[in-house]
Amino acid sequence: LSLFPHPHIHEYLLDPYVNLAPGCRSLFSVIVRVVGDLMLRIQRIQDFTPKLLLVRKRLLGLEPEGPISDLEPVEALTVSSIC
């Protein structure tokens, strides 16, 4: 829907100041909430940056697969940010 080239759709989806009915959420407010949640989860993952780089390399096929603890949340984060 956000790929459809229409200015009103883009305004509704991404404008943080658009007026909505009480209880309604915009795409912008959902993204802000997800980013906040991810920032909290990232702080709990030890050695996050090296793990993130390893997962990116594995998903691109540049690094062989192998078991490493705590990679599942990092894989989910990486896949969602790529898509």
What ranges do the domains of the chain cover? 1-44, 46-83
Residue 83 has pLDDT above 50, yes or no: no
Q: 9-52: per-residue pLDDT in tens?
A: 777 777 888 888 898 888 888 888 988 988 888 888 888 888 88
75/44 Cα distance (integer angstroms): 15
C-alpha distances out from residue 19 to 4, 8, 14, 68, Å = 21, 13, 12, 46
